Amino acid sequence: HQLVARDMELLLAVARVRVATSRQLARVYFGDPSSFHRRARALAALGYVRVVVCGLNLPNLLVLTAKGARLLESHGHRSEDLH
């Protein structure tokens, strides 16, 4: 899977707020929730985010992993700016 600019924006958003709901991220970065869920699954499969399932009628949470933080740092984002 090749990362695109929107993936990096999504990772950066999660890093800045520490925990974000799937609804928040889908609304801000994607017009179509199914597109968001595809990208979130890909980012989780690559180990950049962890998806926390909260319940049947609740949005999932996305949390940046250490691997995701290292990726952002390798693209010039300072770790102190990510929290």
Mean pLDDT, rounded, of the chain: 88
Residue 16: exposed, middle, or buried by beta-carbon count in 10 A (0-12, 13-18, 19+)? middle
With contact defined as beta carbons under 8 Å apart, do 77 and 16 qualify?
no
Of 56, 64, 68, 52, give the one whose Cα is nearest residue 18.
64
| Model pLDDT for residues 29-66, shown as the tens digit of each residue | 887 788 888 999 999 999 999 999 998 888 899 999 99
pTM, rounded to two decimals: 0.86
